[in-house]
């Protein structure tokens, strides 16, 4: 089993009097991680899967007496897909306040739903974690840098979902299953989302525009859907951990794009499954976009997993002068360009250099990316 970075952090929070919440997309390993933490603790544990009707019903509108009867002498309770339970926040509050000897680890595959249901009741009573697909850093720490660099092409095509990593011979069928059966399941559970065809159209449009600015108006035209509906669906896709957004960096210069946005997939494999393209890198026309999605999503995992508070942007002017990626950490700006093969020295555009007094751009290629993703071997 691949050790996840979050494990030690979560283990250090056990039995501190608070509920532990692990959120993330379906099949990224939330349940596996929770079970491993419980097993390694040496305590008795119980898994309650809220996709099962009787479990869901037992936890709804419950009280401390009923909950104690369910738990018995078990010390760690894993409540899987907790957002399925009505009033789950109140149930978790009762456990936190009245059954203090029990440690609950609750998982959820929708940040929006689980946050809405637990935030107010669990104020001051929870530790929250986000789990992503396996990261380059996590695999490199276990298999070694040389092995993982050899797998770069594979990862860019098929991604880092645990099941994909553990089954290297059946990636395509597994990805299709994840993308079709599970990827849309959580989206369609949201109130008002009744058009799976539109969800697929929007995701395909975003996949084809990886690395490019996205216009809701243009997406509306491409998908033949209302602009507000498109915006609503994209917001839900973000909250379901399928895509994430980069906004444009601006110092209010008249030539800078002020409200630009780009969207990236949390996982390259899902992006390729959406457009049903698993062709090898050497025969593709979108290798640059795949590289950009891979490196930005892996950097995002690294920053989140490491607890580094960074604001991230891209930059572009109305004349289409641009910088791929900007990080702001403790008020300091660092600029990056992503090139699949060519690592030539790049200077910031003159207008940016003069305005922000930055002289260099770091170029991240397939030959030097490991340090950018946290590996310091």
- The Cα 199–Cα 229 span in angstroms is 10
Q: H or E stretch including 108?
A: strand 103-108
pLDDT, residue 254, reads 62
Tens digits of residue pLDDT in 200-243: 899 999 999 999 999 999 999 999 999 998 998 898 888 888 99
Which domains, ranges and CATH numbers included, belong to the chain? 6-130 (3.40.50.300), 136-364 (1.10.10.10)
Burial class (CB in 10 A: 0-12, 13-18, 19+), 131: buried
Tens digits of residue pLDDT in 134-187: 999 999 998 899 999 999 999 999 999 999 999 888 899 999 888 876 666 667
At residue 24's C-alpha, the angle toward residues 9 and 295, to 5°, is 85
Assigned token pair, 312 = 């991230």
DSSP structural state of residue 16: S
Assigned token pair, 186 = 């959580």
pLDDT, residue 340, reads 93
- The Cα 20–Cα 17 span in angstroms is 10
- Could you give the strand order of the β-sheet that contains 261-265, starting from the edge strand earlier in sequence? 261-265, 243-248, 311-316, 322-329, 332-338, 362-364
Query: Which parts of 132-260 fold into alpha helices (H)?
Result: 136-143, 145-150, 152-158, 162-166, 171-177, 184-188, 196-208, 216-223, 227-239
pLDDT, residue 376, reads 77
pLDDT < 50: residue spans in the chain: none
How many CB atoms sit inside 10 A of residue 217's CB? Answer: 10
| 3-state secondary structure (DSSP) of residue 336 | strand
Contact by Cβ (8 Å): 129, 23: yes
pLDDT, residue 48, reads 97
- HEC sequence for the chain: CCCCCHHHHHHCCCCCCCEEEEECCCCCCHHHHHHHHHHHHCCCEEEEECCCHHHHHHHCCCCHHHHHHHHCCCCEEEEECHHHCCCHHHHHHHHHHHCCCCEEEEEECCHHHHHHHHCCCCCCCEEEEECCCCCHHHHHHHHCHHHHHHCHHHHHHHCCCHHHHHCCCCHHHHHHHHHHHHHHHHHHCCCCCCCHHHHHHHHHHHHHCCCCCCCHHHHHHHHCCCHHHHHHHHHHHHHCCCEEEEEECCCCCCCECCCCEEEEECCHHHHHHHHCCCCCHHHCCCHHHHHHHHHHHHHHHHHHHHCCCCEEEEEEECCCCEEEEEEEECCEEEEEEECCCCCCCECCCHHHHHHHCCCCEEEECCCCCCCCCCCCC
pLDDT, residue 250, reads 80
pLDDT, residue 253, reads 59
Beta strands in 177-317 (DSSP E): 243-248, 261-265, 311-316
């Amino acid at each position: 089993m691949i050790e996840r970075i979050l494990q030690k952090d979560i283990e250090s929070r056990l039995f501190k009097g608070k509920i532990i919440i692990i959120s993330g997309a379906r099949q990224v390993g939330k349940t596996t991680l929770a079970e491993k933490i419980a097993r390694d603790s040496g305590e008795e544990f119980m898994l309650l899967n809220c996709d099962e009707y009787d479990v869901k019903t037992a936890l709804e509108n419950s009280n401390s007496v009923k909950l104690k009867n369910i738990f018995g002498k078990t010390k760690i309770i894993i409540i899987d897909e907790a957002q399925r339970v009505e009033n789950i926040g109140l149930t978790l509050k009762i456990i936190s306040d009245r059954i203090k000897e029990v440690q609950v680890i609750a998982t959820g595959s929708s940040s929006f739903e689980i946050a809405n249901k637990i935030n107010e009741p669990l104020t001051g009573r929870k530790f929250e974690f986000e789990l992503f697909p396996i990261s380059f850093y996590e695999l490199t720490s276990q298999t070694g840098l040389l092995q993982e660099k050899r797998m770069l092409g594979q990862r860019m095509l098929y991604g880092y979902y645990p099941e994909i990593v553990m089954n290297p011979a059946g990636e395509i069928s597994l990805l299709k299953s994840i993308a079709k059966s599970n990827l849309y399941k959580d989206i369609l559970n949201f109130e008002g989302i009744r058009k799976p065809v539109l969800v697929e159209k929007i995701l395909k449009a975003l996949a084809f525009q990886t690395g490019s600015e996205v216009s809701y108006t243009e997406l509306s035209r491409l998908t033949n859907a209302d602009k507000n509906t498109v915006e609503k669906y994209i917001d839900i896709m973000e909250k379901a951990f399928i895509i994430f957004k980069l906004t444009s960096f601006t110092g209010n210069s008249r030539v800078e794009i002020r409200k630009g946005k780009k969207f990236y997939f949390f996982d390259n494999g899902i992006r390729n499954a959406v457009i049903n393209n698993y062709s090898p890198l050497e025969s593709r026309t979108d290798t640059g976009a795949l590289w950009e999605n891979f490196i930005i999503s892996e950097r995002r995992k690294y920053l989140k997993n490491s607890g580094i508070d960074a604001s991230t942007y891209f930059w572009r002017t109305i004349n289409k002068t641009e910088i791929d990626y900007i990080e702001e950490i403790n008020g300091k700006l660092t600029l990056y360009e992503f090139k699949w093969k060519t690592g030539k020295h790049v200077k910031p555009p003159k207008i940016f250099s003069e305005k922000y007094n930055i002289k260099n751009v770091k170029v991240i290629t397939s030959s030097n990316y490991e340090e950018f993703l946290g590996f310091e071997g």
